[in-house]
Structure 1
Amino acid sequence: MNAADLGLPVAVPSTSLFTDRYELTMLQAALRAGTADRRSVFEVFTRRLPEGRRYGVVAGTGRVLDAVENFRFDADVLGFLADRGIVDEPTLAWLADFRFRGDIWGYPEGEVYFPGSPVMRVEGSFAEAVLLETVILSILNHDSAVAAAASRMSAAAGGRPLIEMGARRTHELAAVAAARAAYVGGFASTSDLAAGFRYNIPTVGTSAHAFTLLHDSERDAFTAQVDSLGGGTTLLVDTFDVTEAVKTAVEIAGPELGAVRIDSGDLLLLAYRVRQQLDALGAFQTKIVVTSDLDEYAIASLAAAPVDAYGVGTQLVTGSGHPTCSMVYKLVARADSGGPDAELRPVAKKSMGGKTSIGGRKWAARRLDADGVAEAEVVGTGPVPAELADRQLLVELVRDGKAVAREPLDAARDRHKAARAGLPMSAGQLSRGEPVLPTEYV
């Protein structure tokens, strides 16, 4: 029984220190200069996709809403800032009353994006909007990287279910976020119970090699597992000899054995041999699950094999070689004064090395061809062309500091499936290539 069950107040951890120190030093200087109240617009975008990726996937939006809601400076946090001399007394007083009261728009979770897509737009005073930079980027960069890897793996799997099992390959809190992002990207379940508890993602798991080695024989281990979990369980058959293990598994569980798991060796060859053996033993419905350092390329190579499901760990939670999306959070417009009606004017960084930004508060829309397939990501700062009015991508997420777009995680998962289906067929190619849609600025 927890505090909520007892009717006691539940402490919600503050996210205010999930930030870089310079956010607070900028705040202090802007307060002193009298510019902190200037209405400002920040946008999250990436200048390029990771090498070889054809599209990106927006993930973590729901977690951003939680982080913004809990971004507040309690007594302990203020005490830390004061003791370390990080900000001065007037800034501490300002932070004590901080609540984000601005607006946030963005691509809905599960949507795909491309270079230059304004994935999220944060509007408010400079002071309140700048504070959110680090926490928003840390969430979107991580979750979107995992979701993109998951989406590629899901496409390669061709409808076969995927199990997220990377908790032991990353930070314990990152593991929960990764499981959530993987579910958005198309995975069916997770081995991580914290993710199942927090986000209602289906959880799966039976036994490891240690369970087999614990017992005096493989037969004893299989018997113990079947006695405990029933004949529909999944038995791990590659601890010793796969052929002998499959034979023993069917003898113990019967032809109704749920599945066997192969975690090592030549997965392609073993899958064919195990399928033939299972069929010969009458276990026609017993499924084959393969694991062992899979990525999208390994999954694609098993497309013709009699595999029923894949378990993926390391490569998934590390973004399959691209653990970040390189998203940035840039000021693109601001007012010349602090008045609520002060006119916004575009601003943009001008620098060498490909880091130039485009100023102005942006909209985005996806143009379709005559067959209803996406053909371009259109981004603009002026009026939206009439033919794109009903194809706009940004939705309202936060209004006057209140989240207005909370949704079940399955909604984001379904949205991603639909968004990916609306892209050209080449989006699913694993070969190196440019983004599947060009970004057009108008």
Structure 2
Amino acid sequence: MNLQHQLGRGRLVVPEQFLEDVGHIVHQVHRVVPDDGDPRTIGVLVLVEDDLFGPLRGDDSGHLSHSARSGARTRLRCPAVSTALLTDHYELTMLAAALRDGTAQRRCVFEVFARHLPLGRRYGVVAGTSRLLDAIDSFRFGPAEIDELRNKQVVDAKTLEWLAAHRFSGDIEGYAEGELYFPGSPIFTVRGSFAEAVLLETLVLSVLNHDTAIASAAARMVCAAGERPCIEMGSRRTHEEAAVAAARAAYLAGFAATSNLTTGQRYGVPTTGTSAHAFTLLHDDEEVAFTAQVAALGPHTTLLVDTYDVLDGIRAAVRVAGPELGAIRLDSGDLGLFTVQARELLDSLGARATRIVVTSDLDEYAIAALAVAPVDGYGVGTSLVIGSGAPTAGLVYKLVEVDGHPVAKWSTGKPSRGGRKYAVRRHNRKGVMTGEVVATGGPAEALEGDRGLQVTLVVAGRRADSGSLPLAQLERARAHHRDVMATLPADGRKLSRGEPAIDTDFVEIRP
């Protein structure tokens, strides 16, 4: 029998082997793995319970389902989507020149870092690492990619031959996803031949610059919100795939949910939402619209009460849903004033447990301004998906070592530090971070309270987390971010422009 799997932009229809006699199987794609023998196919690893052929749970339709947690794996083949052309033209022309003069195989170290934090911010949040490793897994030049390069005469025949056989075989280490970073932090390090490492530059920066910018903005919003939840609602303000990445990054940084259903499907992020003004305008009047929504979704739904008059809308909402009304949403006007009036009116109508959710072009500053208002949650859209004024993290990917020897740029305003870096975070006895040490030549001397920042991500071309589901990876990153934020000095949480929350010391370790 055939089962359909959603992957990226395409639908994959693949045969499920050995399951012909158990009816409709509900299961989960564990991981997509490019096939070493054919760059245009992938293996889909499907996790099923060990008791697959034991008692199965049925429903009235006759369909059978099982939990998809652990156990046997089935390898399936289907067309792969290559990321190899998500790069700049000059990466390939550099490769061609290096292959021609014999320098392509020199052992190199490239590092990703930021020269400074944007807009006087005090910290940044590393995000997108797992997405990037997925993209590197799919960085294969198949027939379609080779034909494109040949037809456009981008590189010569020998380079095309090299690309067709290319598989990344190097090592990658970096800061854990969700970690904080500061100017000069070596958040992502690629070690391998010049040829294989230089090809990744554009892809690495494309993913990390976007997701890190979003997570950094989201973290500030979460800090401003305190214990009140933030909901990501920015899909309509950005590219459709950027919306998914942004929602993932926001959840990593502490947002409670997203309105984007694809993010829920891919990463298991909670999704939420009820209705817009269009639903109210569709009906003859507001009360009729509320009646229809409550009939469909129950009294615990969230009713949008500002289509006409806020206070009249609240009265109609409580008449329809009763005191069990879950929440109201305010999307316009003076939110500081309207939330106070709304709370007083709800309480007077007996709806004391009804929550107040606000939206309307919020950013971290608007959220902070509502700190004393009776708000129960924030919906954030445009500001979140554009990084709240910093749509890129300003990360760069620089060659720092060739055949064991440090190399560096000396360009005015854009210098780099040569040599592979080793980074640790220092903390006081209370566990509060006090500084970061970035050493070349070897790790710095360990002190009490030090925490190493770089973790192994890829060894000889193979991912270290290959057994993890996307949801598990994201939840680990979210938990790590929460733990690290708890160690940030109090001044580091300020929204005002200032210096980085901690200083970074750059040291050279001599033999």
- What TM-score do you get using the length of structure 1 for normalisation? 0.96
Aligned to 1:382: 441
Which of 318, 323, 341 aligns to 1:250? It is: 318
Could you say which residue in structure 2 is the equivalent of 1:340?
none
Matched, 1:197 2:257: no
**Match status 1:299 vs 2:364:** no
Query: What is the root-mean-square deviation of aligned Cα atoms in Å?
Result: 1.2
Query: Contact 2:427–2:449 at 8 Å: present in 1 too?
Result: no
Q: Show the counterpart of 1:82.
A: 150
| Cα distance, 1:5–1:306 mapped onto 2, change above 3 Å | farther
Question: How far did 1:420 drift?
Answer: 1.1
Q: Between 1-10 and 104-113, report the one with greater CA deviation.
A: 1-10
State the partner residue of 1:361: 420
1:370 Cα shift? 3.3
The residue number in structure 2 matching 1:153 is 221
What is the CA-CA distance between 1:383 and the residue it aligns to? 3.3
Q: Give the structure 2 partner of residue 339 of structure 1.
A: none
Assess if the C-alpha contact under 8 Å between 2:110 and 2:400 holds in 1. Answer: yes
Offset of residue 351 of structure 1? 1.1
Match of 1:329 in 2: 397
2:341 maps to a residue whose letter is: R
Change (3 A) 1:199 1:281: same
Contact 1:365 1:388 in 2 (8 A): no
d(CA) in 1 for partners of 2:350 and 2:13?
Answer: 51
Shift of 1:5: 6.1
2:458 is the alignment partner of 1:398: yes
Q: Give the strand-richer structure, 1 or 2.
A: 2
Q: How does 1:99-248 map to 2 (within 5 A)?
A: 99-248=167-316
Between the two proteins, what is the percent identity of the paired residues? Answer: 61
Please tell me the residue identity of whatever aligns with 2:437: V
1:391 CA drift (Å): 1.3
Alignment partner of 1:283 out of 335, 351, 358? 351
For the Cα contact (< 8 Å) 2:107–2:402, is it kept in 1?
Answer: yes
Distance 2:499 2:92 in 1: 38
Cα distance in 1 for residues equivalent to 2:293 and 2:440 = 61
Greater relative contact order: 1 or 2 (C-alpha under 8 angstroms, separation 6 or more)? Answer: 1
- TM-fit CA distance, 1:388: 6.7
Whole-angstrom CA distance in 2 between matches of 1:318 and 1:217: 36
Distance (Å, rounded) in 1 between the aligned partners of 2:450 and 2:459? 21
Greater alpha carbon shift after TM alignment, 5-14 vs 97-106: 5-14
Q: Which residue identity does 1:356 align to in structure 2?
A: P
Q: Equivalent residue of 1:254, what SS?
A: helix
Equivalent residue for 2:482?
417
CA distance in 2, matches of 1:71, 1:284: 55
Q: TM-score by structure 2 length?
A: 0.83
Partner residue, 1:45: 113
Contact residue 162 and residue 188 of structure 1 kept, 8 A:
yes
Return the letter of the residue paired with 2:416. S
Q: CA separation in 2, counterparts of 1:248 and 1:151? A: 36
Residues 117 and 93 (structure 1), Cα distance of their counterparts in 2 relative to 1, 3 Å cut: same
Distance (whole Å) between structure 1 residues aligned to residue 80 and residue 216 of structure 2 = 30
Q: Tell me how far apart the structure 2 counterparts of residues 205 and 17 of structure 1 sit (CA, whole Å).
A: 36
Q: Report the equivalent of 2:388.
A: 320
The alpha-carbon deviation at position 271 of structure 1 amounts to 0.5
Q: Which amino acid aligns with 1:247?
A: R
Q: CA offset at residue 371 of structure 1?
A: 2.6
CA deviation string 1:163-212 (max 9, x = no partner): 10000000111000000111111111100111111111100011000000
Question: 1:67 matched to which residue of 2?
Answer: 135
Shift of residue 101, structure 1, vs aligned partner: 0.7
* 1:412-438 per-position Cα deviation (integer Å, ceiling 9, x unaligned): 111111111101001110111010111
Residue-pair matches, total? 433
Query: 1:296-329: CA deviations, max 9, x gaps?
Result: 0000000111100000000000000000111000
Q: Distance in 1 between matches of 2:15 and 2:367?
A: 47
Q: Secondary structure at the match of 1:417?
A: helix
Cα distance in structure 2, aligned partners of 1:90 and 1:46: 36
Is 1:19 paired with 2:19?
Answer: no
> 3-state DSSP class of the match of 1:239?
coil
What's the counterpart of residue 429 of structure 2?
Answer: 370
Distance 1:266 1:98, change over 3 A: same
Separation (CA, whole Å) in 2 of partners of 1:315 and 1:115: 23
Any gaps of 5 or more consecutive residues in structure 1?
Answer: 336-343
Residues of 2 paired with 1:383 and 1:90: CA distance? 38
